[in-house]
Amino acid sequence: MAKKGANSSRPSSKKAPQHIKSTAASRNYSLEDILGEYRTQPAESTEEPAALPETDAGAVRRRKDEVEALADHMRSEKRREEKVLPEPEAVPVRSEEEKTGAKRRRVKRSEKKPSQPSEKKDEAESPGRREYRPGGDSPNPLRRLYGWLLGQAAVIAIRKRTKTVQAEETAKAEPELTALESAKVYASQIPAFFRRSRSAALISLLCVWIALAWGADIGIPGALGTDILTATPVSLILLLTVMLMGLDVLTVGILSAVGGRICWETLLSVGCIGSIIDCVYVIVSKNSFAPLPPCAVCCVGITLALRGSWYRCRSLKSAFLALHKSKSFYTVNGEKLSFRDGEFVIKSRRSTAGFIRASEAEDIAEKTGLLLSPFVLIGAVLLSLLAAAIGGSMEQLPHCFAVLSSVCCCWSALLTLPMLLSPINERMSKKGSALGGWKGIEELGDCRHLILGDSDLFPEGTTAFSSIHILAGQDTEQVIARSGSIVAASGSDLARLFADLMERSGGRTLSVLGFSAEDGGAHGMIDGVEVHVGNAGYMYLLGVKIDPKLVGDTVLYTAYERELVAAFGVEYTADPKVAAALHTLQRSGRKSVFAPRDFNIDAQLVEKLFRCKAEGFEFPSAEERQSLRENPMEQEGVPAAIVSAGGLDALTDVFDSARYLTRCGRIVRILCIVSTVLGLLLGFVFCLRGAWGVVSATRLLLYMLFWLLPGLAMSAKPGL
């Protein structure tokens, strides 16, 4: 019994035992009564007893604990009564047999061996419940390393994705500048970039001259061509001067790396740091047999980066000025239609919200740099260490790192794409058109089909009324208003002509009920009268009689309840630019789908006016034309490009330029990847062998220039 009392668990001070709660509920003890009963007990003797039985000591402790628990319980009951809460139900008193059985079960559990694991622990360590960690508990060190690397990669990916999402949300939350304000911002930066790039080019030429003197035996007066301890400090001074001129480019690279976005500018900054370290080491060690540091490569790289920034500012200024000056323009997007295969270039009326921010986004080369640069930077550091360690001379580590880091940043990524886009946007800006960044360029470049509307074939100024005949007995103002309302509901560009007529006659556009478009015409209810508007073939199908004097190929007829009331003769003028664009589309093999709303435009009219066979063009039914022209207008999205209210020549110019730039961007992406990876591998091999003449500053300049030549050739294409 003594052992049982000693091993009994101590009750919590916040929860009274069940037998105390039941007794208090049956006899209604108060807190004062219980405490009074406890105080009236005889006080313990101050003298220390010789030997207190273990049973009595356990009983005293249990009694004190029960009194304290009951006191806490009564206080909580009092607080509940003050809050007007229902009293808890009384717990039934357990019998002596139940208490004895519970005590026996506790004793059996306490008699288990200490080494025997508990069921809860077994459950936690069971394979079915264990949290999966790749290689985390494996005894194989390679598997543990694999698991650790996989976990780190996942963490980096999640952080990068989180930062990207946060940056996008912040950009969306910030108000977008107007087109004029954005154009002024970039226009103000153009002179500074031009002056700095030109000054950096002059200083870079001197640094290149020093490199050529050491690599190609070009004579330089004095010790610059013969003494490495003289040429190295001069090259270092020239490099630092160029770095000061391109300080904003290097700052962008360093801050991007600190923010977790390693880009081409970061690699350019690392290459400059590697060359500086190499120069300092040569000067401090006074090694007269050391190779010349590749300062010339870094100087030319900074110069090209400044020149690329100049082209970029010019391109964005032209695009934003076109958006600001164009009072009437269309937006161009590449759309996937549910009822047609492939992607179509569609011109429609949309909001230009987001156009400025999309134009400022990264191009294809910059996106490639964000993905490739982290691995290139790590590879340059590791390969430099390996080349110096395996080569047997750690003294060559600064030069190995300078060589490998100088070929990391591809020059085509800094210059080619801005140099291609700038003249294109400048040329388009004169026509009121512009491309909306590289996302829009890729969107249009992946399309192979065009959807053409009324304004594409007959822009503003090429259509006019040649004659107007209103039958006798009809109200002129009413006939013009009803005819113009049906034409406006169809979405035809002839609505402009009817709007001018209504303005002169004092009419206004009326509401049309039950509108329906068909091949060659449309009808609807206006003021309870069924009004039909269409060409001669449409009226013939309706059974409307037309006076032979009013018959014509480009005449629109109006009928009330299938009775002719008016005839409007329309004169169409073929624009030579539109005709040339149609011939170009035919020769290119691109599929063109005509979706005009004008009831007179058909294959015969196109062949007659533009002297172009309609074999390569498609004229769908009226229902499909309505869907082709209406669905894109209802969708939301950032415009891929904008064009003025001109004809087909402006649309095809945007389309062809986007396709050409898309192909060039993909070529530049391949050039960046191949030149960077190949440069690291070749540099590692020659540094490992100690072939410093092969990786001299002159050879590195020629290598980097070789990968820039394709971009220069693409920018020299005629017509762009």
Q: What single letter denotes the amino acid at residue 457?
A: L
Question: Residue 123: pLDDT above 50?
Answer: no
Going edge to edge, which strands form the sheet with 521-526? Answer: 463-470, 563-572, 555-560, 529-534, 521-526, 513-518
Determine the average pLDDT of the residues in 449-471.
Answer: 85
Question: Is residue 100 very low, low, confident or very high in pLDDT (cuts 50, 70, 90)?
Answer: low
pLDDT over 90 (residue 138): no
Of residues 601 and 75, more confidently modeled:
601
For the cut 60, the answer to whether the pLDDT of residue 188 exceeds it is: yes
Round to whole Å and give the CA distance between 388 and 399: 9
Distance (Å) of CA 271 to CA 11, 139, 399, 594: 71, 41, 11, 54
**What is the pLDDT confidence band of residue 298, given thresholds at 50, 70 and 90?**
very high
Q: Cα separation of 645 and 651, whole Å?
A: 10
As given in the structure block, the two tokens for residue 124 are 């936690």
Question: Has residue 502 got a pLDDT over 80?
Answer: yes
pLDDT for res 517? 85
pLDDT over 80 at 101, yes or no = no
- What pLDDT does 404 receive? 94
321 contact partners, CB below 8 Å, separation of at least 6 = 179, 183, 429
What was the pLDDT predicted at 684?
93
Asked whether the predicted pLDDT for residue 129 surpasses 50, the reply is no
Taking 90 as the threshold, does the pLDDT of residue 306 lie above it?
yes
- For residue 582, the model assigns a pLDDT of 85
Q: What is the pLDDT of residue 383?
A: 93
Per residue in 388-429, pLDDT (tens digit) is: 888 767 888 999 999 999 999 999 999 999 999 999 999 988
Strands 449-452 and 343-348: parallel
pLDDT over 90 (residue 81): no
pLDDT surpassing 70 at residue 90 = no
606-633 pLDDT, tens per residue?
888 888 877 767 777 777 776 665 544 4
Q: What is the pLDDT of residue 414?
A: 92
Q: Encoding tokens for residue 256? A: 């991007």
pLDDT digits (tens, 9 = 90+) for 474-494: 888 889 999 999 998 888 888
Kindly state the average pLDDT of the residues 330-359: 79
Q: pLDDT higher for 683 or 98?
A: 683
Range name among 327-341, 561-575, 657-671 with the lowest pLDDT average:
327-341
Least confident of 248-252, 341-345, 638-642: 341-345
Mean per-residue pLDDT for 58-85? 66
Mean pLDDT value across residues 499-512: 86
| Cβ partners under 8 Å of residue 129, min gap 6 | 123
| pLDDT, tens only, 522-557 | 889 998 899 999 998 889 988 888 888 888 888 999
Q: What is the mean pLDDT of residues 160-184?
A: 65
Give me the mean pLDDT over the 231-241 stretch: 94
When pLDDT is cut at 50, 70 and 90, the band that residue 29 belongs to is: very low
- Higher pLDDT, residue 78 or 146: 78
Share of the chain above pLDDT 90, in %: 30
Cα–Cα dist 200/205, whole Å: 9
The larger pLDDT score, comparing residue 14 to residue 274, is at 274
Query: pLDDT tens-digit profile of 37-66?
Result: 444 444 444 444 444 444 455 666 666 677
Task: Please give the pLDDT value at position 282.
Answer: 92
Section 158-176 average pLDDT: 55
Residue 1: the pLDDT is 38
Res. 160: pLDDT tops 60: no
User: What mean pLDDT comes out for the span 221-237?
Assistant: 83
Judged against a pLDDT cut of 80, whether residue 459 lies above it is answered with yes
Spatial CA neighbour of 234 closest among 292, 274, 273: 292
Which residues, including other chains, have CB under 8 Å from residue 292's CB and lie 6 or more apart? 210, 211, 214, 215, 228, 231, 232, 235, 696, 697
Per-residue pLDDT at 96: 54
3-state secondary structure 646-702: CCHHHHHHHHHHHHHHHHHHHHHHHHHHHHHHHHHHHHHHHHHHCCCCCCCHHHHHH
Query: Looking at per-residue confidence, does 431 or 265 come out higher?
Result: 265
Within a 10 A sphere around the Cβ of 249, how many other Cβ atoms?
A: 24
pLDDT band with cut points at 50, 70 and 90 for residue 352: confident
Give residue 147's pLDDT band: very low, low, confident or very high (50, 70, 90).
low
Query: pLDDT value at position 703?
Result: 94
Identify the residue with better confidence: 596 or 176.
Answer: 596
pTM here is: 0.71
pLDDT at 247: 92
Q: How far apart (Å, rounded) are the C-alpha atoms in residues 47 and 44?
A: 9
Mean pLDDT, all residues of the chain: 78
- Is the model's pLDDT at 153 over the cut of 60? no
Residue 355 contacts residue 642 (beta carbons within 8 Å): yes
From CA 182, how far away is CA 450, in angstroms rounded? 31
**What phi and psi values does residue 284 have, to the nearest 5 degrees?**
-70, -45
pLDDT value of position 591: 75
Write down the pLDDT at residue 325. Answer: 85
Among 200-209, 304-313, 644-653, 708-717, which stretch is predicted with the lowest mean pLDDT?
A: 644-653
pLDDT, position 60? 60
Long-range contacts at 430-433 (CB < 8 A, ≥ 24 apart) = 431/643, 431/644, 431/646, 431/650, 431/653, 432/322, 432/325, 432/326, 432/329, 432/642, 432/643, 432/644, 432/645, 432/646, 432/650, 433/322, 433/641, 433/642, 433/643, 433/644, 433/646, 433/650, 433/653, 433/654
So what's the pLDDT on residue 102?
Answer: 54
Q: Per-residue confidence at 120, pLDDT binned at 50, 70, 90? A: very low
**Side chain identity at 23, as an amino acid letter?**
T
